[in-house]
Structure 1
Amino acid sequence: MSDAPTILTYEGITPAIDESAFVAPGARVIGDVVIGAESSLWYNVVVRGDGNYIRIGARTNVQDGSVIHISAHTHPTVIGDDVLIGHMAMVHGCTLHDRSFVGFGAVVMDGCVIESDAMLAAGAMLTPGKRIPSGQLWSGRPARYMRDLSPEEMAGNQKGVAAYVVEARKHRKALAEAQPAE
């Protein structure tokens, strides 16, 4: 593949990516970024740690076209373990605790917190400084509490995490097989 991921040192800081993590072709990882074991950054994801830091835990997946950024000098972005971030999401200067979920096209703004086992629905916008308590679903623009998540929904999210770990391994293998022999 000609469009390898871009891993860019910025102001002397090189991203630290666990060797078991999957960073897809076309993804961009810049500056003060740490990515944990078995996490995945899918096609055309941007993770830009300039002016503050980004930490992504283990087994977290950031799906195609999403942007992870910081708020310079005020809010880093800290993403825990086993987090699902849907396609085309914007995650900016916030904290996503372990097992949280950000839906397709959702926006999480500066100073926000999504607690463990909490969910921001597809297309929702969590405005600055808001907090989604554990076990709750928020939706809308601006996002508001909708209801509590069932234990089955929370378990389903974790099945999604496991599926993405497996899928990342398959993509890594397919990309390795697509490389021309030297």
Structure 2
Amino acid sequence: MVPYIRSYRDAYPRIDAGAYVAAGVVIAGDVEIGPDSGIWYGCVIRADVNKVRVGARTNIQDGTIVHESRLYPTLIGDDVTIGHMAVIHACTLGDGCFIGMKAMVMDGAVVEAGALLAAGAMLTPGKTVPGGQLWAGSPARYVRDINEQDRAMMDYTAPHYVKLAHEYKNSGG
């Protein structure tokens, strides 16, 4: 099984040669993926009515769906971690933010640089998670400021996934 990468209308995905795209990934339309990023097994990134941009050294983990809307593109910064089975829809994720497993970020929402959205959280349309804060719940709400343990986990995860993506890419997997 190989990734399925296809154009839509006149837009063809642009994937940096240094990025890793795992088997079973679907990428369609006006999508750009930056260097050293990893798109893991079973992800779908679809941009058919707007654009999706993924920065450098970002990891989008297994089973995640990324889409946009007519009103909002999806903009994902550098050094972002998106946990397994998240839904990222027509929103903005700032550099170095962390999105937990099965979290949902909805239309027009913003997770600022250095913010953390907990596993299972649902960030409703138009909400903003300020940098340095942890939000959780459904709907997501402020829980507390990020502590040293959170920061250490966030600082570890993005570079770890860059290394892992390089290992997979170099081993043919």
- TM-score clears 0.5: yes
Q: Distance in 2 between matches of 1:138 and 1:172?
A: 34
> Which residue of 2 is the match for residue 109 of structure 1?
106
Kept after mapping to 2: 8 A contact 1:54/1:76: yes
Could you give the per-residue CA deviations for residues 141-181 of structure 1, whole angstroms, max 9, x where no partner exists?
000000000244223212110000010111112326xxxxx
Aligned match of 1:43 in 24, 34, 41?
41
Kept after mapping to 2: 8 A contact 1:82/1:158: no
Aligned pairs for 1:125-144 within 5 A: 125-144=122-141
Aligned pairs for 1:1-182 within 5 A: 3-71=1-69, 73-175=70-172
Could you give the per-residue CA deviations for residues 12-52 of structure 1, whole angstroms, max 9, x where no partner exists?
11100000000000001100000000001000100001100
Q: How many residues align?
A: 173
Q: Distance in 2 between matches of 1:158 and 1:70?
A: 28
Mark the runs of 5 or more structure 1 residues left unpaired by the alignment.
Answer: 177-182
Q: Write the letter of the residue equivalent to 1:125.
A: M
Three-state SS of the structure 1 residue aligned to 2:144 is strand
Could you give the per-residue CA deviations for residues 109-140 of structure 1, whole angstroms, max 9, x where no partner exists?
00000001101100010000000001000000
Q: Which aligned runs of 4 or more in structure 1 are off by greater than 4 angstroms? A: none
Q: Distance in 2 between matches of 1:12 and 1:154?
A: 41
Q: Distance in 2 between matches of 1:70 and 1:151?
A: 33
Q: Distance in 1 between matches of 2:139 and 2:12?
A: 35
Q: Given the two structures, how large is their TM-score scaled by the length of structure 1? A: 0.93
Q: Distance in 2 between matches of 1:109 and 1:171?
A: 31
Q: Given the two structures, how large is their TM-score scaled by the length of structure 2? A: 0.97
Q: Distance in 2 between matches of 1:84 and 1:148?
A: 18
Q: Distance in 2 between matches of 1:68 and 1:35?
A: 12
